[in-house]
Structure 1
Amino acid sequence: MLFRVLAAVILCCLFSSNSFSDTSSPKGWERIFPQATSIGEKESNPPVWPVYQAFDKIGYVFHSIDYVTIPAFSGEPVDMLVGLDLDGQFTGVELIEHREPIFLHGLGEKPLIDFIRQYEGLGIRDNVKVGSGTSTTGTYIDGITKATVSVVVINQSIVLSALAVARQKLSGFEAPADVKVKSEYYEQLSLEQLQEENYLQNLRLTESEIQTHLYDYRQNACPECEHAVDLKFGYLNVPSIGRVLLGDSDFERLQKTLEPDEHAVVLLSNGDYSFIDLDFVPASVPDRVSIDQRGFPIEIRDLNFFDVFDPQTSILNDASDVKVFSIKPQTGFNPASEWNLLLNISAGNPVLYTVENYQFMANYSLPKKFFDEIEIISDGFSEQPLWVGLWESKRFQIIVLLISLAALTVIFARQHQLVKNPKRFHAIRWGFLTFTLIYIGWYAQGQLSIVNIYPILQSFTQGFNLETYLMDPIIFILWLYVFISLFIVGRGLFCGWLCPFGALQEMVSWFAKKLKIKQYRIKPALHNKLTWMKYAILIGLVLTSFYSVEVAEVWSEVEPFKTSITLHFVRTWPFVVYAIFLLGCGLFIHKFYCRYVCPLGAGLAVLGWFHPVKWLKRRSECGTPCTLCYHKCEIKAIKQSGEIDYKECIQCLECIVYHNNDDLCPPQKVKIRKQAKRKKAESLIPATAVEVI
């Protein structure tokens, strides 16, 4: 019997607990606040859900995307549900939505979930940073190898969204102010002077002016009123304004009522339409009137200042409605900057659902003479763009990359001089390919991909955001260098020198030759057909990206780059088998993937189609009668006619090695032999014969 009673009590408690929860409560909030018994309705300013234990508020949960929309590696922000207690401590973080390819189609989501679990127990004041190190101004948490950009953006999104909530909802997290009211500064001003200087601002509207925006407006609550709206308002913390409007005694009482750094504004109405409605609850947030500054809403709350005391000045006594509203320091309100008073007026018939609303606005600003500028003490949260920190953290990698690109530029500029010594040139080329694979690819994660092009394509419809591309400095620098080179020398500079997977393929081909593995020569007719396959793949991926980027990212796995370069072959077996299969094809067919499959190479070929510089010199004998370069070109970018197909050429410069060396180039060898015979023949002719002639 006792067991049944206990079971019934437990079931009732569970039912009552669930009944408190809002049906629109965010999924996963119970895991963030396991000790909570209920969650309240979502607030709008700021957008948070309050969380309760019994009847005590214990914290808030909120979506990070409601506050911060920093684009991650995919070009889209990551949304998380964040829990924050009343002391500014993280109670947990739940992953809601993301489009990061490295987690969706690579590492899986487990490393990302493990990463965000590190926030539990940390606080906003810890100034959380990603990486390893020691600092007196921050707490470091472990990042995720090969997903640096993603986790840095996620960290910034969590911390900044939590800071935004804390500054509006929690005590002690106020935004640092850069001005302070001069409490000792006082000018003896009259009420008329306040109005002349606009220290007491006025919003006046006639009924016809309102009907311009709200045709159905008919108030007539005050037929004798000259204006439908006659609203005055002013900032009270400044003694020169507050003492005139409130009187000395009420001004002193206001100073004692306000918390440190809290602001107060007064509103008084004499018109037909009041700024407070009949249902207004004292000490609450008004529905009809609000404030914004720099486009951000500023919450105002009734101080109920005259609930017991009557106003001491005639201007307030004569008003039909008078209210003093407070502005908390957490809102970040700056009294020295311009702000706007917004009055919401409704008209129509609510029964027939024909109600319309319109906001009328009046701005307000005060001169700098009423304020002292104060030095802002940093709260540990950098205001600089996120990409700046990422570039600073990769300073060494950037320097090395820039030096290597400068060296590659010199190699291409002086290629005709370098190839005169084939042994030295081959050492330089293989050294650079090794650097490309190990440093640019495996270490610096600089493998360019067709996935990097999707944000560019999306920018045509969603707008261009440079910060998206600056998030990864290595990728950004490489893309900038490759993009410029496309219109100078074509795609070959990247495909033949800067592609880590391309370098790996060349090494596989070299290995095959050392093992004397038979190399298959594809017939020209079939080769020409197969080269179009990569263009078909490119078109398919581009069209798919406009339909769905997520689907396009899945199909982008036709590139083995993520498996072989980004993840070092540490991945589920189908992807590893696919990458090894493509490399295996390269054992028998030189750079099989580059020639027939690579959509990135196809895209670069299209962009670099009309490059003006033809670096690779040709002779009149090339193709007819000499076909050496045609047979020696393993990528088959040299046609039988001797012409170079720059769309397919990877600019390995082997043809230049033959072209510039008389011992290797057949036309030059023939020419040298003829010259030698001519000289020998001339040397055999007697001098007397020359004289007779």
Structure 2
Amino acid sequence: MFLFRSLLRILFLLAAMAAPASAQSPVLGQFLGEVSPSELIEGADAFGPIRDDLPVVPVQTGGETVGWAFVTSDFVGTTGYSGKPIHVMVAIGQDAVLRAVRLVKHSEPIVLIGIPEAKVQALTASYAGLDIAAEAAVGGVAHDLNIISGATVTIMVIDDSVVRSSIRVARTLGLGGLAPETAPEGPKYAINAEATAAGDWQTLVGDGTIRRLSLDVGQVNRAFEQVEDPRAAARPIAGAEDDTFIDLYATLVSIPGITDALLERAEGQNLRDWLAEGEHALLVAGRGQYSFKGSGYVRGGIFDRIQLIQGDISVRFRDRDHRRVGAIATDGVPTLSEMDLFRIPADIGFDPTEPFRLQLLVQRDVGAIERVYTTFEMGWQPPAAFLEPITPEPAPAAAIAPEPDEASAKTALWQRIWRDKTVEIAVLAVMLAVLTVVFFFQDLVTRSARATLWFRMGFLTFTLVFLGWYANAQLSVVNLMALANSLATDFTWEAFLLDPLTFILWFAVAAALLFWGRGAYCGWLCP
């Protein structure tokens, strides 16, 4: 434990030294000089000053404002596959139609490795012409979702951030007839920890405690007939139209009454121990031909088929925020092929008393390496029985609520992750210490061929089970590409500290290279 605390203090100092000084300033100012007004709106000749109350800048023609420019990461979370923000500059007209969209900075290793930059830039630019007033009317899903195979998470972040930030700007500025959203009148609510849920599955689904999205083959085929790419309609799913494609269920299982209704006592306690103060958990379960998890998270650590959306926030779940559920305890549960818990971080602003949407991404192969995508959604809101009114404290009026300091938020996030993985870190430290001792005294250890064989087989088995299957701490070239790109741009420790086991393993491998070459990695630590 002393070693863990010491390591945590050292990493905190390193991260503090590497934190950018301009964390509190709008991102817009960093990129405004890289784009000319005429690139954003045809005929524009100047930018006005950045507004004090909103990180947007007027785009002007002859002194007249013809539109507004902003960067998505000033308004919504844009963290991509790399763990760093994807910055997109957007120009929007007075009619709430997007005039130009430019990818100005990213750190995505997948794009750097095998997907041409121009392809991602072109897809980002294709959002020009999007009618934000129409998007606002239907919750941001009025357009077709175009995704580049192999960069699903990256493109989904771009799509989500462009649409949601544009809606927010258009509402705030009153563009296209949109008006700012006002806080709902009436009482505020908190979760009633004493409320209980029904004791059987059918009632829980019927009263809205559990929400259901049931899609059959015919519904999905018809949805793909509506996308722009004609190849999608030409490859329908085989089978009867009423065959189940996916039967999806979801609920906010961190609400105490729902926890007790759905999870065995031990599993419910494990859930409570897993969640820190302010965190919540979503239970997602399903059956049918289509998996809501897919396999992308095994390679990349992100579940790219589902995301949670609540107002201006969206959550894409990572493998470190995921646990499987052994069984659901209530009566009448249907046979489910997938049952999983997803943790909602405390620092994103999620409100368990407010409605949210769970978006499901469905893909269809249209070529050897090409796919077309469409989305389906289910809404969830806590039943009235789980809410209790509270008396709100009066708050001073403000144009915009102050945003938390980005550097502080990132530091708090990785520190929390390290504390949550104290046991795994300790096991890895013991594992590396044993291997180090064996390597330093290998002449003594290898005197017995039989003992050496048994030790090696045992260690490799532990590596496979613990590092590979349990901790998912597989080192890969993607980590190196992300590091190389970060060193060439604005290096920060935070993105790498988010995965403590991988971070420690890379340091161990680097140290071992100095003494024994690549043998420690290739022969012992690669599951």
Question: TM-score range with shorter-chain normalisation?
Answer: 0.3 to 0.5
TM-score, structure 2 as length reference? 0.38
Larger radius of gyration: 1
Kindly indicate whether structure 1 or structure 2 has the higher relative contact order, using CA contacts under 8 Å at least 6 residues apart.
2
TM-score, structure 1 as length reference? 0.30
Q: Which has the higher strand share?
A: 2
